[in-house]
Amino acid sequence: MILPALLLALVSPPASPAGNWRAVLDLAGGELRFSLNVRPAGRVLRGSICNGRSCTPLSGIRVAGDTVVLEMADYAATITSVLRGDSLTGIYHNVGNRGPRTIPFRASRGRWRIEPASADLLGSWDATFVTDGRSSPRVLLFSNDSSGFIGAMMSNTGDYGRFWGRAEADSFRLAHFDGSFVYMLTGRLDGDTLRGIFHAGLRTQTAFTAVRTTGRPHLRSPTEMTSADTSAPFRFAFPGLDGRTVANTDLRFRGKVVLLDVFGTWCPTCHEASPMLVDLYRRYHGRGLEIVGLAYEVTGDTAVDAPLVRRFQVTHRVPYPLLLAGTSDVASAAATLPQLQGFTSFPTSIFLGRDGRVRLVYAGFLGAATGAQHDRQVAEFRATIERLLAEPPR
Amino acid sequence: MIRQTLVPLLTALAFLPAPRLAAQAPADLAAERAAFTDWLIHSPVSPYAAVSAAPLDPAGVGLELGGRTARIVERNGAAWLEGAGAPRVLPRNRPALVGTTTVLVTGEPPRSRVMLFGAGRRAVAPAYYPYDPALVFSGTLVAPTAPGSERVLTPDGVEVEATVAGTVTVPLGGGTTLRVLRLPDPGSEESSLEIYFRDGTSGTGSYPAGRFVTLAPIAGGRYRLDFNRSRNPFCAYNAAYPCPAPWRGNTIAVPVAAGERYESHP
């Protein structure tokens, strides 16, 4: 009896992680749920992590014996796990300057149940976050879609990506995990007020209350965050991926409407904004629109950054030039674009008129998770481009 | 105001496993320590690989690059590398490779700091006291009467504006109240509630200046304070780092023989 079993074990292929997984990061405030999908692609495995219908591809999957390593290269993060039957157990790990961050990870085969929220929770909420006696505003948007209960959260510097989760009676739990950011919103409806906690990573919990959006502005307008010197054409000159400098004085930009996209490959929201920019380019390039991506990358070292930007270009099929402009912090962007004041967020969109001067600066990007607000932003971008294209060349 | 006391977690978990099992470090702590040891030995920005730290003052910081000297200077709020090809902005709070030197610009103007890292390093794993479940407490944080902030050094010696988060009281040394500050994590939504403390082991087994321990949130607005997770400031690994001064009042009169130990290295 033992020998046949042993032979069977020897000839059986190793277990594969291919399939759909109900995945969890165990935070102090409870389980952060997301979906993990792994599929064979020729001789390799490909995969993605998903918050509802919003998915982020994994950069690689390595399998050695029963060890499965999920890689998220853009964020220098990995999930290292052990495959036993229908479960994966391990840790999520990424690295900072003060050491690694580790969060327990587990997954079981299958798909999460769809658990939509009742109408009482849906809609737009003006939230106030309070930390150590200091408050700051957010807007929460809750809705249902085919994946269940989804949400978005916006601050004065942009949105936090799509949240997905579940609701039970008046309580809810929504999460966003993209390989880099580990966010969770938990709370309940107490009369007319939402009371909850925003969890960031393992250590940070911020209490909030929220009331239904009244219509009065709760956040600053994205067009009022950053201002610009409009007394002269907006100057930029940075190397492209081929090493040649692209500058605002190049003939290709003369008399054109130019949209500068200040972005980084490390920034999930920038990835989300890219398809809209590609669509704008395809719609309006023939009428005189140029788009230039200014990449602010992690290291500032061309040998490291250029391949990341090239991958971004390929992934999103970007037809316009992407330039290596600086490193991935607000100070770097502000220093290399000194005609801007109050630069706050990635991405930022800078619209230049046909005279090369700044006409509008739009801080942040409202992703598809924000629903009508996303649609409104897309409409505003198109209207701005149409208006600037209609101006006579100077 | 009634000061609440952090109570030993075991009091609330009286039905947990036998003492022999309870004395083992929990799996998450073991994984945390293993990941930290790996980082300490292999990361290009490990304190073991640090060569120097210098304030980024107006004169800038020199950097030898194969026989010529480049400079890092601060301009318009950014750190620029000059003298190594076209001037370029170095990232802040993220390492950059310049020649064979890893450069890390931290802090905020006008108190930015440049750390330089080389290839040499020791491969010494941190040492820890045996896990002691009696030094795990849970309780609530007593909020300050008014919002406030203090400039302090983080574990890696970066000067930051920390918000005053409150106090906790532990049943050690007849009851000791410890101040808690919230240290920001630049570029992220995360922050940590930290206690920098000295105790009866400071200088006789643990690092003389003190150790950091993080308050971890648990359910119901309560926090876990696990002294087994106490850790040294980076100046314990390498004298290149500025060492945080002990926080006023945060001294526990009895030994807290848990968490990271300190043995001076030549």
Cα–Cα distance, A140 to A354 (Å, whole number): 37
Distance CA B256, CA A294 (A): 52
pLDDT of A52 higher than 90: yes
- The closest alpha carbon to A142, from A245, A205, A66, A213, belongs to A213
Residues A185-222 have pLDDT tens digits of: 999 999 999 999 999 988 888 999 999 998 788 988 88
pLDDT, position B23: 65
Query: Between A301 and A212, whose confidence is greater?
Result: A212
Nearest to A262 by CA among A352, A322, A341: A322
pLDDT digits (tens, 9 = 90+) for A84-124: 999 999 999 887 778 888 899 999 999 999 999 999 999 99
d(CA A156, CA A209): 17
Q: What separation in angstroms does the CA of B226 have from each of A188, A289, B223?
A: 30, 58, 10
For CA atoms B251, B253, B259, B261, the dihedral sign is: positive
> Inter-chain contact A132–B163, Cβ cutoff 8 Å?
yes
The ipTM value here is 0.75
| pLDDT on residue B36 | 93
Nearest CB neighbour to B96, from listed A100, A300, A335? A300
First to last CA, chain B: 49
Per-residue confidence (pLDDT) for residue B184, from 0 to 100: 87
Q: Is A388 helix (H, G, I), strand (E, B) or coil?
A: helix
Residues in chain B: 266
Which residues on chain A are in Cβ contact (under 8 Å) with B147?
132-134
A25/A139 Cα distance (integer angstroms):
25
Which of A100, A202, A298 has its CB closest to that of B39?
A: A100
Distance of CA B175 to the CA centre of its chain: 25
Buried b (16+ CB within 10 A) or exposed e, B171-190: ebeeebebbbbbbbbbeebb
pLDDT at A13: 60
Task: Tell me the residue type at A271.
Answer: H
List beta partners, residue A351. Answer: A259, A360
pLDDT at A9 over 60: no
CB contact, 8 Å: B165 with chain A? yes
Q: For each of chain B's 266 residues, which pLDDT tens digit applies?
A: 333 445 554 333 222 222 334 467 888 899 889 989 999 998 889 999 999 998 888 788 988 877 888 999 998 788 899 988 878 888 888 888 888 899 999 888 888 899 999 987 778 899 999 999 999 999 999 999 888 999 999 999 998 999 999 999 999 999 999 999 999 887 677 889 999 999 999 999 999 999 999 999 887 788 999 999 999 999 999 999 999 999 999 999 999 999 999 986 54
Secondary structure of A287-348 in the HEC alphabet?
A: HCEEEEEEEEECCCCHHHHHHHHHHHHHHCCCCCCEEEEEECCHHHHHHHCCCEECCCCCCE
Lowest model confidence (mean pLDDT) among A59-63, A79-83, A252-256, B77-81: B77-81
> Can you give the pLDDT at residue B266?
43
What is the number of other CB atoms lying within 10 angstroms of the CB of residue B144?
16
pLDDT at res. B4: 42
Contacts of residue B187 in chain A, CB cutoff 8 Å?
Answer: 329
* Cα distance between residue A153 and residue A176, in whole Å: 10
Instruction: Give the phi and the psi of residue A26 in degrees, each rounded to 5.
Output: -90, 105
Integer Cα distance of A133 and B256 in angstroms: 32
Q: What is the reported pLDDT for A355?
A: 95
Flag whether residue B167 sits within 8 Å of chain A, measured between CB atoms: no
Q: Which residues contact A381 (CB under 8 A, 6 or more apart)?
A: A276, A280, A349, A362
A360 vs B108, residue with greater confidence: A360
Q: Do B147 and A200 touch (CB under 8 A)?
A: no
Spatial distance between the Cα atoms of A67 and A79, rounded to a whole number of angstroms: 10
* Residue bearing tokens 């504006």: B161
User: A-contacting residues of B 110-139, CB under 8 Å?
Assistant: none
Strands A257-263 vs A289-297: parallel, antiparallel or unpaired:
parallel
Q: Could you tell me how far CA B222 lies from the centroid of its own chain?
A: 22
Please indicate whether, in this complex, the C-beta atoms of A334 and B76 are within 8 angstroms of each other: yes
The mean pLDDT value of chain A amounts to 90
For B228, the token pair is: 């087994």
A370 or B139: which leads in pLDDT: B139
* Nearest alpha-carbon partner for A136 in A46, A218, A221: A218
> How many CB atoms are closer than 10 A to CB A242?
8
pLDDT reported for residue B264: 67
- Residues listed for chain A: 394
Pairing of strands A87-96, B191-197: unpaired
Selected residue with higher pLDDT from A335 and A240: A240
Q: How many CB pairs under 8 A join A and B?
A: 134
